[in-house]
Amino acid sequence: MYPTAAPYFVFLVAVCLVYWAVCRIRAARLAVLLVASLFFIAKFGLGCLLLVPVAATLDFFFGRGMGRSESATMRRVLLTCSLVLNVGLMVAAKGFGAKLGWLFTFSLSYYCFQQLSYTIDIFRRDAEPEANFLNYVSAATFFPSLTAGPINRLPDLIDKLKKPFSLDDTRSARALLLIASGLIKKLLIAQFLADNLVNSFLDTPKLYSGFEVLVADWGYAFQLYYDFSGYTDIAMGSALLLGIPVPENFHRPYSSANIAEFWRKWHITFSQWLRDYVYFSLPSERRVAAAKFTNPVITMLLGGLWHGFGWTFLIWGAMHGVALSATRAWQDWRKKLGKTPTAFGRYVAVFFTFQFVCAAWVFFRADSASDALDVFSRIGSMTFSVEHISLAIVLYLAAAVLLHIAPESWFDEAVALFSRTPFILQGAAIAGVVLVLQTLAGKGAAPFAYSKF
């Protein structure tokens, strides 16, 4: 049940109506949320309906055990059990997902990262274990962000579920506009770029000029952004209709002037997770002098392997890791010289950062290193032709760029205006958007790109 499909919105409306009807009784609304989440999981397959609740229950008891134990050894044993469970699930899903398709019917990575944040925080004594199983399991199986993020910190999500339900006119308007924004991003922009530019040009680069392949690589950058941020918008909107804000996951990443800034704006919850639970777990600069430069590489290599066990993802991670270290060295050098960036210098830096990110995306998308090198070879041929670049492609790319750099205040102003409309009309307008976009999508949209990770 993908969030761009009509059945998802029928499901969401039904859940919201029941949830709102019992919203004053916390136990009742959490029970409704839990049943809805289990139903959502069941639509992907009965294997996951068994797997996720069992795994969540085990982590609940691991957390409770760490909270009660004063023994450092026992706490480490329980944390190790949680690590083995969740890392094992991710490895099994990626390594044996094809053979065990009945069991791993959707990516468990986002769920596992969420669970690990819970048990690691308890181990570090940064959070207390949740005593109420209903509070805990409702958060652990929270359906809007279960399959492709954003990655919630489970203690934070549990705290949000405990608070009284709140959904005013502004929140409801923001929620519905986020859903509409997500649909437009996915079904109009990302889908068009994939079908009319990216797939054909990058799958068979030798059939096109070097410039056309370069344009397709730029197009893939925006396809991936609008695909993933579109899902995030729908997840954020769905959660907000239930009175539960979830973290932002994107913040105009292609306006970044360096790779460190890019990772503060791209897949924010994932990069924060890597920072807090991988980077900070490595030897510090005080213990290892070179850690300042080696830790980013190690962290991003692991981030690459999370996307898949292959050379292309490893190379992608290595590129970003080396770039992060190089950025740190460059910034240290400029700081020693007392140099400050200029406005023109920032524009130049944004341009070259975008080109680097696009070069890394070539490996990220390719099925093999050989395929990636074919793309680079064609771009490097320096051949120029725009025979296959239609006016529609130019207009969609221009729209993608303009929407990406549009001031955030525009969305806030739209929310303020939309919030003055009666809620019934708001819902009717969004329903109309869903139907129109589904019609324009024709044969239907492909699954979200990041849902497989």
320 in catalytic set: no
Query: Do 258 and 327 contact (CB within 8 A), yes or no?
Result: yes
- What pLDDT score does 443 carry? 55
Whole-number pLDDT of residue 148: 80
Please, is 409 exposed, middle or buried when counting C-beta atoms within 10 Å of its C-beta (0-12, 13-18, 19+)? exposed
DSSP string, 340-364: ---HHHHHHHHHHHHHHHHHHHHHH
| pLDDT on residue 242 | 94
Cα–Cα dist 24/29, whole Å: 8
Query: Token match 């690590």: residue?
Result: 83
Please give the Cα distance from 317 to 308 (Å, whole number).
11
Question: Which residue positions in the chain have pLDDT lower than 70?
Answer: 97-98, 100-102, 438, 440-453
Query: What is the predicted pLDDT for the residue at 166?
Result: 85
* pLDDT of the residue at 441: 65
CA distance 452 to 93: 10
Given this model, what pLDDT does residue 160 score?
93
pLDDT score of 102: 63
What is the distance of C-alpha 208 from the center of its chain?
Answer: 32
Question: Of the listed 251, 267, 307, 404, which one is catalytic?
Answer: 307
Res 281: pLDDT: 87
Which value, in Å, is the radius of gyration of the alpha carbons in the chain?
Answer: 23
